[in-house]
Structure 1
Amino acid sequence: MKHRVMEFSVSHPKWVFWLVGLLTLLALAMIPKIQIDTDPENMLPADNAARVMHEEIKHRFGLSDMMVVGVVNEDHPQGIYNPATLSKLDTLTRAILAMEGIVASDLMSLSTSDNITQKGEGQISFHWMMERAPKTQAHADLIKSYVSRLPMLLNTLVSGDGKVAGIYVPIESKDLSYGLYQQMLTVIEQLPSGHEQYHITGLPVAEDTFGVEMFKQMAISAPAAGLLIFVVMLLFFRSVPLVVAPMLVAMATVIITMGLMIGLGYPVHIMSSMIAIFLMPIAVVDSVHILSEFSDHYRPGVDKKALARRVVNNLFQPMLFTSITSMVGFASLNTADIPPVQVFGSFVAFGIGLAFVLSITLVPAYMASLSDQTLNKMAKRVHDSEEANTPLARFLRHIPAFTMKYSKTLIAMVVMMFAISGWGISKIVINDNPTNWFELEHPIRVADRVLNEHFAGTYQAYLTFTYAGDNTHNQAQQLAERSGLLLQDANDELKQLWHELLTKHGQDINALSQAVLEQQFLADDSQLRYWDGLSTLLEFMSGSSKAFLDPKQLAYVSDVQAALINSGLVGKTTGLPDLLKTVNRELHSGKDRDYQLPASEAVNAQAILTYQSSHRPNDVWHMVTPDYQSAVLWLQLKSGDNQDMTKVLAFMDKWFEAHPLPKGITVDWGGLTYINVVWQDAMVSGMLESLMTSFVVVALMMMVLFRSVAWGLIAMLPLSVTISFIYGLIGLMGKNYDMPVAVLSALTLGMSIDFAIHFIERTRVLVKEQGSWQKGLTQVFEEPGRAISRNAMVIALGFTPLLLAPLVPYQTVGVFLASIMAISCVITLLVLPAILNVLKSVLFNSESKPVSNVSTASTEREVDHA
């Protein structure tokens, strides 16, 4: 089959060009259908339990994701409490309220908040904290005194030191945050100049802004990588027409792969945006091997078609296995239960397979289509410049003697590397934070740093408490039994209607009560008494289960708040107890001594009813559900690092163990900071499973390829050393194990084995041909060694444009991929020969005699005959 494919390619190059061109054009036609997904929440499947609960909590309490705008004034003696700064804050607030995509009723700012004060004995007054911007310093000082008395506002809307004021902007959808961010920046630019600084942060804007900049970077980095690869190959092969071939392979691979993904309806996520960057250097690997051998053996007068067939035939098996192992490495990402990672792994694997097919078809077709004059010029430049005597070639020739002389020393160094790497791996910290995906001086990163230095925290998590009752089924059963007694004299039509309502809303007394209220309005005089009776029954049963009006339950929630604050892990918590304590204080003395929870359920109900007369009555329902069956605490954290959120979770697990939840109460977590922990944990466990599975698969493939357990295990050495060293280095450097680092495991697996396969395959063939281990090894460090070194340099340099990216994940990928290529190449060229030298009597006892390679011999005869 391979012979027919190669024969067709070199005999009908135009057909190959037309076919590849057509596929590329079809793929390009799919690009306009691109869908962009920048939400890390989609790292989790839609039915993931934590994600479902997160959405349920947001829906239950009417919560929205938030952007945080900070106004900083560190120069004025009164901080932000001066007329000029408060005026700008008010102007900015009103401009934001007018933007589309804002949940205006829930926006929190001094301009939209209530001041709660005593009106008289047992009476309370609500008036705007800052209905209009103050004109005098005395008015600004008055606002300061108001804020200092309201714990729910202090350190949330104004920092404790009074130097920063915040605007918490709830948004309808996270994907609107970048557009809103730009609008806010425009408004800020138009504000009068002064001593104020303005900052905008929050996970939604960090994630959405990263998505926008990510696509800009993709449009820059992929072409830059391609250009650099082209330049490096041109230095090696000294022929523009010849170097065009691998570039065509790379571009066709990237375009067809991305077009296929988009055409199939997959959105381009943060992960899949890197597909082009990964494929561009990988796609030229096989082409470099082909070009290297072709340029070394081409001379004027040689049949170019026969030489192309010979070169591809010689390299077919190692190229096939290197491609398969790389595909296995990326395809293994499908074992991770993270949809974007699965898409990324699948399409990179597809792209690698496509690059292999194009390398054995398009490249020989291209070489066969070049004119003899072009190839002769290439040969003259290459051979007249004494390719075999370049600094790289001379350096490689010293390696065989060096490795044989210091074999045991090199092996000992590898053992030491394993030990040090193991120590480094033990120090790895699994951590991520979307805000840290930007460089230190990026405006969002600066905003995050400044605002979290002053505020209780701009990162949010939610802890919910839900009362399920002692037995929900019994409550429904009691409702059915009691209503049956009420309706025993009613007609069948009414009974049937009640049965339908009970079936539909039986688990939600509030919804059932609303449905009964509607029937009361529609009922005639003969039926009204029955609906009135059912309404009274529902009112009684609803009142009997209002868990979070119960002082005992509220006291427990308040204890949880105190524990979280005392832990030092959380900057602030806000919940129903805070509101009740504040209202209770103002209903009594107005003194701190009355800042406590009311003593009875009735007083709690009265306090909430009193708050309903404020300008923001719906704020209550962001803390507790209308049926008082569920309450939520809003946690503010100064850091969005997974490690910090994980510490909060671990602390509360121990606290709940020591202070058991009241009977019938359950707790759940939500919020973007919590969701990031969940998907990061899923990624790490998934990547580890993928790595171990694919490592075993690749090891088995090596044993099959070389028909030897020993050779298979030796081939795994560069891979094993590279993986352990890279991750050990990550641990020793203190670099967090985050999303891009996790994905690198797949590339390490696929690429590190590439050089070993080519080295071992060519070593075995050349030792047979030369009839001597020493002579065979010397020949390996000629053309094969140069090809391996060229490939390592081409790929490593191909990723270096990523180092200039303003996004940290891209920089990480650039650094570590270059390191992977360098380390695996060095291990292959230094350590593998050392091991083969030590084990040569075992490995080459049956291969020391000259044995002609059938395919090589036959193709050589073909070239000579031509």
Structure 2
Amino acid sequence: MNPALLDRYIAALLRYRWLVIAGATLVMLAMAAGGRFITVSNDHRILFGEDNPQLVAYDALEDTYTSSNTALIAVTPRQGTVFTRETLGVIERLTEEAWQAPYSSRVDSLTNYSHSEALGDDLIVGPLVEDAASLSDADLDRIEEIANDSIELVGRMLAEDGRVAGLAINFIPPRETHDASVVELNAYLDGMMARARAESPEIEFHITGDIVMQRAFAQATQDDLERLTPIVFFLIVAVAYLILRSISGALSMVVMILFSVGTAMGLAGWNQTVFSPVNAGVPIIVMAITVAQSVHITTMTLTAMRRGLDKMEAVAESVRVNAFPVFLASLTTVIGFLSLNASDSPPFHTLGNYVAFGVGCTFVYSMSLLPALLSILPLRVKPAAAGEVTLFDRFGEFVVARRKPLLWLTTIPTLLLLVGIFRIELNDSLPNYFGERYEFRRDSDYIIENLTGLESQEYSLASPGEGGITDPEYLRQIDAFAEWCRSQPEVTYVRVFSDTMKRLNKNMHEDDPAYYRLPEDQALATQYLLLYELSLPFGMDLNDRIDISKSSTRMSVVMRNITSNEQQVLAERARGWLEENAPGLTTEATGLSVIVSHITERNIKSMLRGTVIAMALISLVLVVVFKSLRFGLLSLIPNFIPAGMSFGLWGYLVGRVGIAASVVTVVAFGIIVDDTIHFLTKYLKIRREGRSAADAVRYAFSTVGKALGTTTAVLSAGFLVFAASGFEVSWALGILVAMTIMFAFLADFLLLPPLLMAFDRRKL
């Protein structure tokens, strides 16, 4: 950077400071006006890229059968089983009310289960329960016996102990008004639940499902934007004031935050950006980085004034000294966040792009608005006493004197923490993304514990051709596959077409239990199926289980409390069984649970490319800037290690990570390298004057030690606030990045200086 040109720029900036402030204000207000166009999505599919192969397979399954946008209601009497007139009556009323819900396409419950039985030569198909209030004790006993013996009900619509019953509603909301439709549906469901609880206080009601989860997505996003942002704002300002000990200095941080966040979020609004829980932290991250970047200029201004310079001279010197390192730090941070575009999950693209833009705004405002502000604010400082030794002066002396022991003291704990990485297990579960503060999570946990699992693997099993689903060999194969799935320890329920055919075969043989087996003649099986379909009530057809040409059927495998890795292993075992025992049926498992189980793995693979590119670019920048391959490579050591230490500690303390883990390294690396840049810039300044490495370390601590401490405190506080988020991706990302920042601070203070003094012994 040309010193003469920079001096002319600083002089003009301070001369026209009021014009600079006015111009920056107009730009910010024009940009911030777009904030009103920001919207929040309640669609969980926003997490997945359009070319995600698991999502493509799931969409194909839904196109073949029917889309799955469900709500599942659990009904639990406070005493006894569900087989009472009162409880069955409540389920009946809820079933009827569910049919009136907007966009409902199907309602399945214990009471409207299509029970079939023989009456002479006729097949009678009807609801299991009709007019519950009029049932006799004998009727109740009969219904209980039928339900408990039904492999199609137990584990799905009925708990094994009979104490909980289920009601499932499927919706087909229009895609063009999806978000508004979800709001409308949840309002209807809330009304249903409120009326049911008021009318039947002796019964508990819990509700979960895709539609309810999508409302929780919107709630989590809104909570993070509205609740966490003010907390971070006041926390960061408080930390900045406590460290700077200057009201005017803290006020300058407030203005910088408002301008940088307002400009970044304003652009998001003008672009009509849709936010989700994953990227709702954009304003918080921009806020923290804004203070971390601008604090260098503010701190050095106050320090220069303590040395005796007047305010204008102090501001000019601060800008002159910090212009290049702040630019370099901003550039590396922008590179780090832009690399999130390599992520397989689109919300991370939004997070990376708008944080990167916010960092760019911070640099521009730091080089224009901030110096102008500092020049007009009433900065007051206590003059430094002659020969005064600061805390960081003493710390610099300590590091120089203890350089060799520090190398060992930092190496041993680092290695111990890195071992913890091997304890980490990748796991994602959509319900578990939400904290227990959300009713959706509490209800989901209850239903998983007491009724049925919420994770499922879906299979579309193709027959030899059109109408082939009644072929006896095909039926035997899918039945054998279903029985194999039921024998797996992870599986709690299987829904398969062959169960219906076995029930029909029994019905058509006068309900003789000996005939609860598959029909042996295809023509006869086809007749059974046709008769059954013609007898089904409206809305209870088999279109969700059979394709229109009757050439394939859908099989659902339900699991409970299973990790992502266990889901993938089960899917691989299932594929292996099909390849060995029914090659013609071989297919991949799909479903929302399958997509989620792969999302972390896919994101890690995609982000590995982004991380390598970002680190390569940042490394190249450092090598070019420091004009030394040696210093460029040395600077990477204290920036690579902290992320590994954070994951190691996480492995010891938590042991499970999800999608947040895939982006932690690149996000943290782009941030923490800033401190190394500031330290090395000051270090090399003294080394190139011909002084020793030890003197350069002392100077670096003396000039930037306080600023780096402030940066670490502000960034750590900002990211730690994410721990208060109710969304797992946000709080895991926040805690991991905060841990990495703190480990990086220790590495820059305890590891980097000894490394420099050990390997930098030549004259520069």
- Structure 2 length-normalised TM: 0.92
Correspondence 1:642 to 2:644: no
Secondary structure class of the residue paired with 2:381 = helix
Equivalent of 2:62, from 50, 58, 62? 58
> Whole-Å Cα distance in 2 between the matches of residues 286 and 617 of structure 1?
61
Read off the aligned partner of 1:76 and give its amino acid letter: Q
User: Which runs of structure 2 are paired with 1:37-436 in the superposition (5 Å)?
Assistant: 37-73=41-77, 75-77=78-80, 79-103=81-105, 106-120=106-120, 122-135=121-134, 138=137, 139-173=139-173, 175=179, 176-177=181-182, 179-190=184-195, 191-298=198-305, 302-370=309-377, 374-375=378-379, 378-380=380-382, 393-394=390-391, 396-436=392-432
Equivalent of 2:520, from 587, 599, 602? 599
Read off the aligned partner of 1:92 and give its amino acid letter: L
CA contact (8 A) 2:715 2:738 kept: yes
Read off the aligned partner of 1:22 and give its amino acid letter: L
Q: How far apart are 1:588 and its partner, in Å?
A: 0.9
CA contact (8 A) 1:178 1:209 kept: no
Correspondence 1:805 to 2:725: yes
Structure 2 segments unaligned to the other structure (5+ residues): none
CA contact (8 A) 2:115 2:128 kept: yes
Matched residue, 1:29: 33
- The verdict on how the C-alpha distance between 1:604 and 1:284 changes in structure 2, with shifts beyond 3 A counting, is same
> Whole-Å Cα distance in 2 between the matches of residues 387 and 819 of structure 1?
36
Q: How far apart are 1:550 and its partner, in Å?
A: 1.0
Provide, for residues 698-735 of structure 1, a one-character-per-residue CA deviation record: whole Å limited to 9, x for no partner. 22222112111111112112211111101222223343
> Whole-Å Cα distance in 1 between the matches of residues 437 and 517 of structure 2?
44
Matched residue, 2:714: 794
User: Which runs of structure 2 are paired with 1:654-803 in the superposition (5 Å)?
Assistant: 654-662=576-584, 665=585, 667-768=587-688, 771-803=691-723
> Whole-Å Cα distance in 1 between the matches of residues 487 and 222 of structure 2?
43
CA contact (8 A) 2:277 2:727 kept: no
Matched residue, 1:481: none
- The verdict on how the C-alpha distance between 1:3 and 1:461 changes in structure 2, with shifts beyond 3 A counting, is farther
> Whole-Å Cα distance in 2 between the matches of residues 745 and 562 of structure 1?
44
Matched residue, 1:447: 443
Which of 1 and 2 has greater Rg? 1
> Whole-Å Cα distance in 2 between the matches of residues 658 and 387 of structure 1?
83
CA contact (8 A) 2:575 2:588 kept: no
- The verdict on how the C-alpha distance between 1:321 and 1:272 changes in structure 2, with shifts beyond 3 A counting, is same
Q: How far apart are 1:614 and its partner, in Å?
A: 1.9
Q: How far apart are 1:177 and its partner, in Å?
A: 4.5
Matched residue, 1:16: 20
How many percent identity over aligned positions? 21
Read off the aligned partner of 1:245 and give its amino acid letter: S
Q: How far apart are 1:287 and its partner, in Å?
A: 1.0
CA contact (8 A) 1:24 1:255 kept: yes
Provide, for residues 812-848 of structure 1, a one-character-per-residue CA deviation record: whole Å limited to 9, x for no partner. 2332232122111111111112222323424xx33xx
Provide, for residues 446-504 of structure 1, a one-character-per-residue CA deviation record: whole Å limited to 9, x for no partner. 222221223342333310123576xxxxxxxxxxxxxxxxxxxxxxxxxxxxxxxxxxx
> Whole-Å Cα distance in 2 between the matches of residues 302 and 410 of structure 1?
37
> Whole-Å Cα distance in 1 between the matches of residues 135 and 713 of structure 2?
68
> Whole-Å Cα distance in 1 between the matches of residues 649 and 686 of structure 2?
36
- The verdict on how the C-alpha distance between 1:50 and 1:771 changes in structure 2, with shifts beyond 3 A counting, is closer
Secondary structure class of the residue paired with 1:81 = coil
Equivalent of 2:541, from 613, 616, 619? 619
Matched residue, 2:459: 463
Secondary structure class of the residue paired with 1:272 = coil
Stretch moving more, 193-202 or 225-234? 193-202
> Whole-Å Cα distance in 1 between the matches of residues 639 and 633 of structure 2?
10
Read off the aligned partner of 1:102 and give its amino acid letter: S
Provide, for residues 380-406 of structure 1, a one-character-per-residue CA deviation record: whole Å limited to 9, x for no partner. 4x759x9967xxx43x33433432343
- The verdict on how the C-alpha distance between 1:813 and 1:234 changes in structure 2, with shifts beyond 3 A counting, is same
> Whole-Å Cα distance in 1 between the matches of residues 277 and 630 of structure 2?
41
Q: How far apart are 1:291 and its partner, in Å?
A: 0.7
Equivalent of 1:564, from 485, 492, 511? 485
Q: How far apart are 1:586 and its partner, in Å?
A: 1.2
CA contact (8 A) 1:300 1:379 kept: no
Secondary structure class of the residue paired with 1:621 = coil
> Whole-Å Cα distance in 1 between the matches of residues 166 and 678 of structure 2?
60
Read off the aligned partner of 2:453 and give its amino acid letter: G
Read off the aligned partner of 1:126 and give its amino acid letter: V
> Whole-Å Cα distance in 2 between the matches of residues 764 and 781 of structure 1?
13
> Whole-Å Cα distance in 2 between the matches of residues 616 and 596 of structure 1?
27
> Whole-Å Cα distance in 1 between the matches of residues 7 and 485 of structure 2?
70
CA contact (8 A) 1:269 1:340 kept: yes
Matched residue, 1:579: 500
Q: How far apart are 1:170 and its partner, in Å?
A: 0.9
Q: How far apart are 1:109 and its partner, in Å?
A: 1.2
Provide, for residues 660-708 of structure 1, a one-character-per-residue CA deviation record: whole Å limited to 9, x for no partner. 422xx55243321122234333212112222222222222222112111
Matched residue, 1:527: none
Secondary structure class of the residue paired with 2:494 = strand
CA contact (8 A) 1:203 1:434 kept: no
Stretch moving more, 164-173 or 269-278? 269-278
> Whole-Å Cα distance in 2 between the matches of residues 63 and 581 of structure 1?
27
Secondary structure class of the residue paired with 1:118 = strand
User: Which runs of structure 2 are paired with 1:538-549 in the superposition (5 Å)?
Assistant: 545-549=466-470
Secondary structure class of the residue paired with 2:656 = coil
State the superposition RMSD in angstroms: 2.6
Q: How far apart are 1:327 and its partner, in Å?
A: 1.1
CA contact (8 A) 1:570 1:648 kept: no
- The verdict on how the C-alpha distance between 1:582 and 1:785 changes in structure 2, with shifts beyond 3 A counting, is same
> Whole-Å Cα distance in 2 between the matches of residues 292 and 229 of structure 1?
15
Read off the aligned partner of 2:44 and give its amino acid letter: P
> Whole-Å Cα distance in 2 between the matches of residues 589 and 117 of structure 1?
8
> Whole-Å Cα distance in 1 between the matches of residues 73 and 309 of structure 2?
71
Structure 1 segments unaligned to the other structure (5+ residues): 470-544, 847-866
CA contact (8 A) 1:768 1:776 kept: no
Provide, for residues 328-383 of structure 1, a one-character-per-residue CA deviation record: whole Å limited to 9, x for no partner. 1111122234332222212211211221111111111111233xxx22xx224x75
Secondary structure class of the residue paired with 2:761 = helix
CA contact (8 A) 2:461 2:554 kept: yes
> Whole-Å Cα distance in 2 between the matches of residues 741 and 369 of structure 1?
44
